Amino acid sequence: MSKEHSTAIESEGGARFRWVPGWGSDEAGDQSIGMAHHGIAATMDGRIISFNPAEPIVQIRDTEGRLRESWRAPVITGHGLSLASDGQTESLWIADNGDSWVPLPGRNYGSALTPETRIEGAVVQMSLDGKELIRLSTPEHPAYERGNYCPTGVAIDEKYAGGQGDIWVADGYGESLVHHFSSDGRLINTITGEGGAGRFLGPHAIHVDRRRGIPEVYIADRENARIQVFDTDGKFLRVIGVGTLISPGGFARLGDDLIVAELDGRLAILGSDDQVVGIIGRGDLEGRNRTGWPNTLDADGTTVRPELHDGVFNTPHGIATDRTGNVYVSEWLIGGRLIKLEPVDLR
């Protein structure tokens, strides 16, 4: 897709990007009946990893959006995708929340599971050629004696960056807990948020941030419209975005900044001091009140894919950045949508 046909999109705060129309749409399954609910990640060598909207298939594209490789993953859905490196080889970590939305009788979408079904998601490490390496099942924690385990995000404190390879998992759709595991899968600690800004409500994504030179754990406390930050021992450090963020649900580092995907139609840019220094997109706080959201209803009352427009977000779900400053977004809706934003040099 040529830059000449891109759409300029500005952020509050001065940053500008080109929205590349149709990026990845040739293979993204726009006409699929699948309800896309996946993340997105970018490898060090410039490959973009996402997920098929209808099937548990990992899709790998080049930076132009062309599908180069795909393989079936041993999960139900690739809700949260992240990459980790040992300094030589990267691997893909998948947070599988254990459920997926499908067409149901009555012209709507919802879970194929019954209310009595116990949901047990998992976190799975995969090689980039599709081999399962590690699987973390339901943690041994009292909350899961009756509750569901539905992990939505995973982050690794990478060894090559100075960490121990510890694994951090956000159970955003289950019991609203955050679990800290050793590199070999031993549960070290569980955080509820109660020792910080308050009990988590839908901790949707998690990120190990090293912009200050030491690892800090950022937790997107989405339904509380805030980010809580802890050290790697689980000690609360600070809260971010109260009164400014609306629905933080994903993280990607961009230089000294952190870009946050917000489900209600926008991206937020956090500066090195954790202040919001830019907003990309209009935002849509009224969207959740729309019948059929994040989709829409046709004249017969059937849930269908909404009309989408270049330069306007619908429901940003996953977010990633590459080494050249491009931003990639995956959206939550029927058929999914992948978005590429190219930076514009303002000098």
- Kindly report, residue by residue over 279-321, the tens digit of the pLDDT: 999 888 898 999 899 999 999 999 999 999 999 999 999 999 9
Report which secondary-structure segment, H or E, holds 188. Answer: strand 187-191
Tokens encoding 18: 């080109």
Tokens encoding 226: 């805030």
Instruction: Sketch out the chain's domains with CATH numbers.
Output: 3-343 (2.120.10.30)
Report CA 296 to chain centroid distance, whole Å: 22
Residue showing tokens 């300094």: 87
**Contact 20/340 with Cβ under 8 angstroms?**
yes
pLDDT at 334: 95
pLDDT at 28: 45
Report CA 192 to chain centroid distance, whole Å: 20
User: Which of helix, strand or coil describes residue 119?
Assistant: coil
Average pLDDT along the chain: 92
Is the pLDDT at 268 greater than 70, yes or no? Answer: yes
Is the pLDDT at 4 greater than 70, yes or no? Answer: no
Beta carbons within 10 angstroms of residue 162's beta carbon: 11
Relative to beta strand 122-127, strand 132-136 is: antiparallel
Confidence of residue 12 (pLDDT cuts 50, 70, 90): low
User: Which of helix, strand or coil describes residue 159?
Assistant: helix
For residue 25, the one-letter residue type is: S
Percent of the chain at pLDDT exceeding 90:
81
pLDDT at 137: 97
Q: Where are the alpha helices (DSSP H) in the chain?
A: none
pLDDT at 13: 64
Is the pLDDT at 154 greater than 90, yes or no? Answer: yes
pLDDT at 32: 66
Confidence of residue 206 (pLDDT cuts 50, 70, 90): very high
Higher pLDDT, 266 or 8: 266
- From residue 107, give the alpha-carbon distance in Å to each of 30, 198, 306: 19, 38, 15
**Contact 124/169 with Cβ under 8 angstroms?**
no
What average pLDDT score do residues 41-68 get?
96
Confidence of residue 103 (pLDDT cuts 50, 70, 90): confident
Q: pLDDT, tens digit, for every residue of 57-90?
A: 999 999 999 999 999 999 999 999 999 998 889 9
- From residue 341, give the alpha-carbon distance in Å to each of 217, 232, 318, 319: 26, 32, 14, 11
pLDDT at 31: 52
Lowest mean pLDDT among 2-16, 38-52, 134-148, 185-199: 2-16
Cα–Cα nearest to 152, from 224, 216, 91, 100: 100
pLDDT at 30: 47
Beta carbons within 10 angstroms of residue 62's beta carbon: 13
pTM score = 0.95
User: Which of helix, strand or coil describes residue 270?
Assistant: strand
